[in-house]
Amino acid sequence: MRRSTSLPSLVLLGAGVFLLVLTQLLAWYVEPRAKRTPTDVNSTTVFTGKGSYFDTGTVSTEDDQTLTITRRVLGNVAESERSGKAIWDVSTQIDTPKTLPLADPRKSLQWTTERWVTDRRTNLPVHCCEETPAFEGEAYLKFPFDVEKRVYTWWDSSLGAGVPLEFKDTTEIHGQQGYRFTGTVEAVATGTRQVPGVLVGSKEPGQVLAEEWYSNALIELTVEPRTGRIMNAVIAPTKTLRAPGSKKDAVTLLASKRLEFTESTRREQAALASDDGGRLKLIGETVPLWGGIAGGLLTVGGVVLLIRGRRQPEHSAA
């Protein structure tokens, strides 16, 4: 018997071992590190729906009007890189038919700016880097990666507190599977505002500190489970004023039975979720699975050829 080592067997064996190592590297090292909240986000989402709002010009509530909520999110890349956190600057404006054409957000019905700082892996809030306001919970502009069918605490800026959202069912947004979560906010006092007493029916002369009340009859968020991206959102907020100590609403500042992502926003968010989720699936499941199978077959084939090559029989002389 003579022993020999063939080049093809070594090539197959080396390729097989390389694929096995690569797939393990993707599954255990690369994929977990790919599940990080992006820092270079630049997105705009828009809600629309019919509702009522208080017009300060006419000093009355205008009903059955189109309300538009525009939220712009811009990642602060430089500060995110320095801190290792996801730092997003958020601008939210509520517009009426009168204010929507105006370019200046300061002329909208309501305009707020916020800074959200989160842990890039867990999505939990991090209280640093000029965060404002300080918030708690597990979800706000997005949910954590690998969303589960359970209750999540969603931060409601209008309430200034977390709201439990329960898993409702599985649905689709433009062909993309999503988990639907729902919750509500019962009417609660959220602050005070100085207004003429006559506006809220107070018997006190002059200005009074009217109570601001807030409720939300429906919070419905449809989330892509792999990435935590919100593909659709529905809210039904109501903001009112009450005379000090009163149990009845006197003025409706804002009210709608349904404000929802526009069709273009839903389509865009579903497409982004599909792209992001596809990349995570590729490096976390598809490549490790098929790479592992191919690597195993190549390794076995290389070993078999190597053994056969080393045990080829010698030819006897005639």
How many residues does this entry show for the chain?
Answer: 318
Q: State whether 269 and 154 are in the same domain.
A: yes
- Please report where in the chains the tokens 């890189």 appear, as a residue: 81
Do residue 289 and residue 142 come from a single domain? no
pLDDT in tens, 133-190: 899 999 989 999 999 999 999 999 999 999 999 999 999 999 999 999 999 999 999 9
Question: How many domains does the chain fold into?
Answer: 2
* Band of residue 120 on the pLDDT scale cut at 50, 70, 90: confident
**CA–CA separation, 141 and 228 (whole Å):** 9
pLDDT reading at 232 higher than 70: yes
Tell whether 22 and 110 lie within a shared domain: no
**Residue 223, domain member (yes or no):** yes
Query: Does residue 306 sit in the same domain as residue 261?
Result: no
Shared domain for 298 and 224, answered yes or no, is no
In this predicted structure, the answer to whether residue 241 has a pLDDT above a threshold of 70 is yes
Q: Where are the alpha helices (DSSP H) in the chain?
A: 7-25, 31-34, 77-83, 263-281, 287-310
Asked if 157 and 243 sit in the same domain, the reply is: yes
Please check whether residues 103 and 47 belong to one and the same domain. Answer: yes
In this structure, are 306 and 168 located in the same domain?
A: no
| Residue that wins the pLDDT comparison between 70 and 313 | 70
Highest mean pLDDT of the ranges 11-15, 42-46, 303-307: 42-46
pLDDT score recorded for residue 205: 83
Nearest 5°: phi and psi at 121?
-95, -45
- Whether the pLDDT of residue 276 is over 90: the answer is no
Domain of 15, in residue numbers: 7-29+281-310
User: 232 and 89, same structural domain?
Assistant: yes
Q: Rounded distance, CA 284 to CA 26, Å?
A: 7
Residue 270 lies in a domain: yes
Residue 2 in domain: no
Judge whether 167 and 178 are in contact, CB under 8 Å.
no
Beta-bridged to residue 282, according to DSSP, are none
The maximal CA–CA distance of the chain, rounded, in angstroms, is 127
| Ramachandran angles phi, psi of 25, nearest 5° | -65, -40
